[in-house]
Amino acid sequence: MNGVFWGNFDALCEKAGQQPSQIPSVANVDAVRLLLSGDPKQILFVRDTVLVNCKPQLAELEGEYPSLTVVLVYDSVEMSTVWELLEAFPRISHLLPLASLNSYRCAQDLMAGQSGRFLPGALTDSRRILLCHSAECEAIYSELSTYLAQQSCFAGFSTIAVTSASELLTNAFYNAKRDVQTGKPIFFDRRVKVQLEANEPVEVNFGRDEMYFWLIVRDRFGTLDRKTLIRAISRAARERTPLDNTGGAGLGIHLLFTWATEVNILVEPARSSTIACKFLLTPRNRVFDSEPSAIHLLFS
Can you give the pLDDT at residue 250? Answer: 59
User: With 0-12 CB in 10 A as exposed, 13-18 as middle and 19+ as buried, what is 90?
Assistant: middle
Task: Give per-residue pLDDT as tens, 85-103.
Answer: 999 999 999 999 998 889 9
- 133 and 272 both lie in a single domain: yes
How are strands ordered across the β-sheet holding 92-97?
A: 25-26, 3-6, 43-47, 69-74, 92-97, 294-299, 262-268, 272-280, 212-219, 202-208, 124-131
Last residue of a domain, which of 62, 79, 113?
A: 113
Q: Rounded to the nearest 5 degrees, what angle is found at the Cα of 59, between the Cα atoms of 68 and 86?
A: 80
- 30 and 143 both lie in a single domain: no
User: 130: how many CB neighbours lie within 10 A of its CB?
Assistant: 11
Last residue of a domain, which of 62, 84, 113?
A: 113
Can you give the pLDDT at residue 203? Answer: 98
Q: pLDDT grade, residue 37 (50/70/90)?
A: confident
- 129 and 275 both lie in a single domain: yes
Last residue of a domain, which of 92, 113, 134?
A: 113
Domain that holds residue 61: 3-113
Average pLDDT over residues 98-115: 87
Domain count, the chain: 2
**H-run or E-run covering 25:** strand 25-26
- 153 and 274 both lie in a single domain: yes
- 171 and 227 both lie in a single domain: yes
pTM of the model: 0.92
